[in-house]
Amino acid sequence: MPSTRVFEWKVWWLDDLEIAMNNSWLHGALAIAAFSVVLGGCGGGTFFALKDLNNPIKPTSISVITGGSEDADLKLAEYLTKELKERTTLQVVGQDEVSKAIPSYPITVKTVEEKSGEVAWVDPSEKVRIEKIQAKLKTNYVFVIWSKRLMKRTVCSDRGGCTNTYSADVYGNLLEYPSGKIVSHTAFNKRNSDSFLALFRSKGYYVDELLKNSAEGIVDEFIKVTNAGKR
């Protein structure tokens, strides 16, 4: 019977995805255990849902800010901004304007996770800071988006060849102003695997696609819930 080996690493940077596979069997075993903990119960999830169905989203203005300071957080914010701008009727502030308004952008926004990571909320201690950011951006809504626990899992067969699967937990909160209330939540796990075409893809291609598909999924549901899609 052919056997397989499984390795996994946390991906810190999008340009650090090609990791030499000279890890020990022990490292592989520990990685499998870590993978089970991180992804257990995280398949699927909620792309976009209102906290209160009686409080609909108004077709006004929106800005997207990162909830984390890693490359993946910024990429996700850029893709989400692009999707909202191209596909909805809301006035959307570009990421270039956001970066000018917020010093040291991208930024980290603390979260409070509930139900073993099934949902995450902006930590109440961040309320004043986000209010100051909103005052600069002057939008009716601020969408805080996080890409957490970006992982790479590699499965290799003794017959030759390896498959890499990338995964991330995506969280988001939409805050409404001037009230500052959280009016929606996003919480799902997204995965993407490479193929033989990986030889012809640029470095980080599959993580980039994972983030892009995540943004598309969020806006798909956003349009269904808010009826704010362009005709």
Indicate the domain borders of the chain: 4-226
Angle between helices 205-226 and 71-87 (to 10 degrees): 40
How far is the C-alpha of 175 from the C-alpha of 67, rounded, in Å? 13
How far is the C-alpha of 142 from the C-alpha of 109, rounded, in Å? 13
Comparing CA positions, the residue from 176, 186, 173, 181 lying closest to residue 60 is 176
Q: What is the largest CA-CA distance in the chain?
A: 63
Write out residues in the chain with pLDDT < 70, as ranges: 1-43, 195-203
The reported pTM is 0.80
End-to-end CA distance of the chain: 56
Query: Domain 4-226 adopts which CATH fold?
Result: Rossmann fold (3.40.50)
How far is the C-alpha of 227 from the C-alpha of 57, rounded, in Å? 9
Residue pair 167/94 in contact (Cβ under 8 Å)? The answer is: no
How far is the C-alpha of 211 from the C-alpha of 190, rounded, in Å? 8
pLDDT for 201 equals 66
Residue pair 64/145 in contact (Cβ under 8 Å)? The answer is: yes
Residues 6+ apart with CB under 8 A from 191: 165, 166, 167, 210
pLDDT for 119 equals 83
Span 60-99, pLDDT tens digits: 999 999 999 999 999 999 999 999 999 999 999 999 999 9
